[in-house]
């Protein structure tokens, strides 16, 4: 069992390299469905599983993962759900819009319209509860991380960084330049399903001030 | 029935079971930073290892019981008094109505656990009562307890005393040798790390402990795409100080993941305090698994429902 795509991630976790997004999410669903792993966590280019060392030794866990992966991942059982999120851009909702405009050389209206033109894909949730990493951003909108992270941004803030878009489900510190904010609740601890977004979903941003 | 937090110390939270299977939603484990100490406290009051208990950082706390109830204290070494009389950790005690438990500042170790022979009322999120402060989840309104606040208790009992077997009293120290395996980003230039001693800085919380020492040089542009990260990971953010992750650690990260403290030794991380010295002992995955089984075997007779 020396599948080069699988490596140890510490003493009780294994990492499967899966750069292709659809493959990665399909593998994550497949591994989640087996119930064999304590955690199945998709990353930006991989899927990491944590195993129960009281159930599998490290070599057994490696062999077991390789056996599961020998079966192709079933295609997604349902069509991708698309979520529309209204967004207030700029001003106090998006304090970095002007700076993003300067850095990209695009007028603010053009930055916004490029963000609205394509559906974004939720790649993964991580960092803090419900924080969504999304891809599908126009290449012109690549900008770097803030030099000084903000101590606090409100829930629903939308940040851009190096070709990704991040949605802050909770208020908290933020290192990404913030372009706008959605008033839609993305995380509600009291709800049956606390998370509005899930990996694999599509997100369409809508300009809340233009409708 | 209730108890009143007269002084919460630096930080007092309610902790129960870790949240397992929710990291893909961005929800960390939480639960006690030192699960073994919490299990030992719960054992002395006849509760399940992961029953909700009180975690107090650095001791320095006081609690008043408003009705007779048994309790036990474990974890960081602190002098204890009950109604003015000195009492020992790792023994079941019974408080009378109005009695105050005083917990002195911890001499060694970082976190004290108080278990109660009764059910502590706490919020539940994803099946667990554990407090996760950054998202105000679980516990007492998702936050740390404040002076004068009252925690509700149900089904309280006074039970015959028990004592933790002598050989299971955890040793708190100012220096730790933690067994670890290489992480996915361990560079060849890091081999010297196994011979170094690192020191915990003042930056310490339930999310992690910062370490200073001779970390390898990793170019700042060596950014990694965000990937899963777990408690026990030693990350190296830009700036050259390591960060050792604890129970509340974020679920994904992009900093180089140099080492992983093995599961058998992760409970020790919750007792590391600023100024403590840490060495890492190099192990393979198989050695880590063997060490886990060996330590588990020592614990199982006294803590049959506890898993490291």
pLDDT at A2 over 60: no
Residues 6 or more apart from A130 whose CB is under 8 A from it?
Answer: A169, A170, A186, A187, A194, A195, A196, A197, B25, B26
ipTM score assigned to the predicted complex: 0.95
Residue B135 to residue A127, Cβ atoms within 8 A: no
Q: Residue B44: what pLDDT? A: 98
Does a structural domain hold residue B197? yes
Q: Is A151 left (phi over 0), alpha (psi -120 to 50) or beta?
A: alpha
CATH number for the domain harbouring residue B182: 2.40.100.10
Whole-prediction pTM: 0.93
pLDDT digit string, tens, across residues A119-147:
999 989 988 899 999 999 988 888 887 87
pLDDT band, residue A1 (cuts 50/70/90): very low
- In this structure, the answer to whether residues B160 and B183 fall within a common structural domain is no
In words, the CATH class of domain A82-207 is mainly beta
Q: Does B300 touch chain A (CB under 8 A)?
A: no
- Cα B3 to Cα B68, B75, B114, B121, B152: the distances in Å are 10, 20, 12, 11, 7
Which fold, A6-70?
Gyrase A; domain 2 (3.30.1360)
Residues of A in contact with B288 (CB under 8 A): 11-12, 53, 58
Does a structural domain hold residue B307? no
| Average model confidence (pLDDT) across chain B | 96
- In this structure, the answer to whether residues B157 and B247 fall within a common structural domain is no
Which residue, of B114, B135, B168, is where some domain finishes? B168
Neighbour count for residue A72 (Cβ, 10 Å)? 10
- In this structure, the answer to whether residues B37 and B160 fall within a common structural domain is yes
Residues of A in contact with B126 (CB under 8 A): 194
CA diameter of chain A: 58
Dihedral sign for Cα B56, B62, B63, B69, please.
Answer: positive
Q: How far is A101 from chain B (nearest CA, A)?
A: 25
- In this structure, the answer to whether residues B101 and B149 fall within a common structural domain is yes
Over residues B147-168, the mean pLDDT reads: 97
Which chain A residues touch B if contact means CB-CB below 8 Å? 7-13, 15, 28, 32, 38-46, 48, 50, 53-54, 57-59, 124-131, 133, 169-170, 172, 187, 189, 194-195, 199
Rounded to 5°, the CA angle B80-B86-B91 comes to: 70
Q: Which residue of B has its CA nearest to A42?
A: B24
A93 SS3 class: coil
pLDDT at B130 over 70: yes
Q: Residue B225: what pLDDT? A: 84
Contacts A–B by Cβ distance under 8 A: 134
Let me know: does A14 contact A62? Beta carbons within 8 Å: yes
Beta pairing partners, B82: B85, B101
- Ranked by mean pLDDT, the top range of A70-74, A114-118, B121-125 is B121-125
**Domain coordinates in residue numbering, chain A:** 6-70, 82-207
Q: Residue A192: what pLDDT? A: 86
| B positions 195-234 inside 8 Å of A (CB) | 225-228, 230, 232-233
Q: How far is B264 from chain A (nearest CA, A)?
A: 10
- In this structure, the answer to whether residues B163 and B183 fall within a common structural domain is no
Provide the edge-to-edge strand list for the sheet that holds B2-7: B85-87, B80-82, B100-105, B59-65, B2-7, B150-154, B119-120
- In this structure, the answer to whether residues B159 and B186 fall within a common structural domain is no
- In this structure, the answer to whether residues B134 and B15 fall within a common structural domain is yes
Does a structural domain hold residue B308? no
Let me know: does B31 contact B308? Beta carbons within 8 Å: no
Residues of A in contact with B307 (CB under 8 A): 54
Q: How far is B3 from chain A (nearest CA, A)?
A: 26
CA B221 to chain centre: 34
Residues of A in contact with B285 (CB under 8 A): 8, 11, 58
Does a structural domain hold residue B227? yes
Q: Which residue of A has its CA nearest to B142?
A: A189
Residues 6 or more apart from B5 whose CB is under 8 A from it?
Answer: B12, B61, B62, B63, B145, B146, B147, B148, B149, B150, B151
- In this structure, the answer to whether residues B185 and B161 fall within a common structural domain is no
**What is the distance between the alpha carbons of residues A24 and A30, in angstroms, rounded to a whole number?**
10
Which residue, of B137, B168, B199, is where some domain finishes? B168
Q: Residue A161: what pLDDT? A: 82
Give the rounded percent of residues in chain B with a pLDDT score beyond 90: 92
Higher pLDDT, A6 or A145: A6
- In this structure, the answer to whether residues B117 and B206 fall within a common structural domain is no
Does a structural domain hold residue B37? yes
Closest CA to A189 of A155, A145, A151: A155
Which residue, of B114, B137, B168, is where some domain finishes? B168
Over residues B104-118, the mean pLDDT reads: 98
pLDDT digit string, tens, across residues B51-98:
999 999 999 999 999 999 999 999 999 999 999 999 999 999 999 999
Closest in B132, B285, B296 to A11, CB measured: B285
Q: Say how many CA atoms lie within 13 Å of B201 toward its Cβ.
A: 11
Q: How far is A191 from chain B (nearest CA, A)?
A: 10
Q: Does B184 touch chain A (CB under 8 A)?
A: yes
Does a structural domain hold residue B190? yes
B139 SS3 class: strand
- In this structure, the answer to whether residues B80 and B216 fall within a common structural domain is no
pLDDT at B33 over 80: yes
- Show the domain range for B223: 175-300
Query: How many independent structural domains does chain B possess?
Result: 2
Lowest-pLDDT range of A73-77, A149-153, A177-181, B268-272: A73-77
- In this structure, the answer to whether residues B196 and B66 fall within a common structural domain is no
Pair of tokens at residue B168:
């299971």
Give the β-pairing of B257-261 and B175-182.
Answer: antiparallel
Residues 6 or more apart from A78 whose CB is under 8 A from it?
Answer: none
Closest CA to B143 of B122, B169, B159, B164: B122
pLDDT band, residue A79 (cuts 50/70/90): low
Does a structural domain hold residue B162? yes
Q: Residue B274: what pLDDT? A: 97
pLDDT at B170 over 90: no
- In this structure, the answer to whether residues B164 and B134 fall within a common structural domain is yes
**What is the distance between the alpha carbons of residues B286 and B181, in angstroms, rounded to a whole number?**
10
Let me know: does A172 contact B137? Beta carbons within 8 Å: no
A76 SS3 class: coil
pLDDT digit string, tens, across residues A92-101:
999 999 999 9
């Amino acid at each position: 069992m020396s599948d080069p795509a699988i490596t140890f991630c510490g003493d009780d976790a294994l990492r499967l390299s899966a750069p292709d997004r659809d493959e990665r999410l399909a593998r994550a669903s497949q591994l989640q469905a087996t119930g064999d792993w304590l955690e199945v966590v998709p990353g930006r280019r991989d899927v990491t599983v944590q195993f129960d060392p009281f159930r599998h030794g490290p070599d057994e866990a490696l062999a077991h993962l390789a056996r599961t992966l020998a079966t192709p991942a079933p295609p997604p059982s349902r069509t991708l759900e698309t979520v529309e999120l209204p967004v207030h851009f700029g001003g106090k909702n998006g304090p970095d819009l002007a700076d993003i405009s300067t850095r990209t050389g695009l007028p603010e209206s053009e930055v916004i319209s490029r963000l609205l033109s394509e559906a974004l894909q939720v790649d993964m949730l991580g960092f803090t509860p419900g924080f969504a990493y999304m891809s599908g951003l126009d290449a012109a909108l690549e900008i770097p991380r803030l030099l000084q992270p903000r101590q606090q941004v409100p829930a629903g803030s939308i940040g851009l960084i190096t070709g990704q878009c991040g949605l802050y489900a909770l208020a908290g510190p933020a290192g990404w330049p913030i372009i706008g904010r959605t008033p839609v609740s993305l995380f509600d601890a009291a709800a049956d399903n606390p998370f509005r977004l899930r990996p694999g979903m599509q997100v369409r941003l809508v300009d809340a001030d233009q409708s | 029935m209730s108890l009143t937090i007269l002084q919460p110390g630096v930080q007092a939270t309610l902790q129960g079971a870790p949240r397992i299977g929710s990291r893909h939603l961005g929800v960390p484990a939480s639960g006690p930073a030192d699960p073994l100490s919490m299990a030992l406290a719960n054992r002395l009051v006849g509760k399940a290892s992961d029953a909700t208990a009180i975690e107090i950082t650095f001791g320095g706390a006081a609690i008043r019981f408003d009705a007779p109830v048994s309790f036990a204290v474990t974890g960081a070494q602190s002098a204890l008094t009950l109604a003015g009389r000195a009492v020992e950790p790792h023994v079941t005690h019974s408080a009378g109505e109005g009695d105050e438990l005083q917990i002195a500042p911890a001499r060694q170790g970082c976190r004290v656990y108080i278990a109660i022979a009764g059910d502590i009322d706490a919020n539940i999120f994803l099946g667990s009562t554990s407090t996760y402060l950054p998202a105000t989840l679980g516990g007492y309104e998702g936050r740390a307890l404040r002076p004068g606040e009252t925690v509700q208790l149900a089904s309280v009992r006074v039970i015959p005393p028990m004592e933790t077997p002598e050989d299971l009293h955890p040793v708190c120290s100012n220096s730790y040798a933690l067994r670890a395996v290489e992480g996915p980003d361990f560079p060849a230039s890091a081999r010297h790390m196994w011979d170094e001693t690192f020191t915990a800085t003042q930056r310490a919380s339930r999310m992690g402990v910062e370490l200073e020492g001779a970390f390898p040089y990793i170019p700042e542009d060596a950014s990694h795409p965000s990937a899963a990260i777990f408690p026990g990971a030693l990350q190296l953010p830009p700036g050259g100080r390591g960060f050792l992750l604890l129970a509340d650690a974020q679920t994904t990260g992009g900093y180089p993941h140099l080492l992983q403290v093995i599961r058998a030794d992760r409970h020790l991380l919750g007792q590391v305090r600023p100024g403590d010295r840490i060495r890492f002992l190099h192990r393979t995955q198989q050695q880590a698994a063997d060490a886990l089984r060996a330590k588990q075997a020592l614990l199982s007779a006294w803590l049959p429902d506890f898993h490291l």
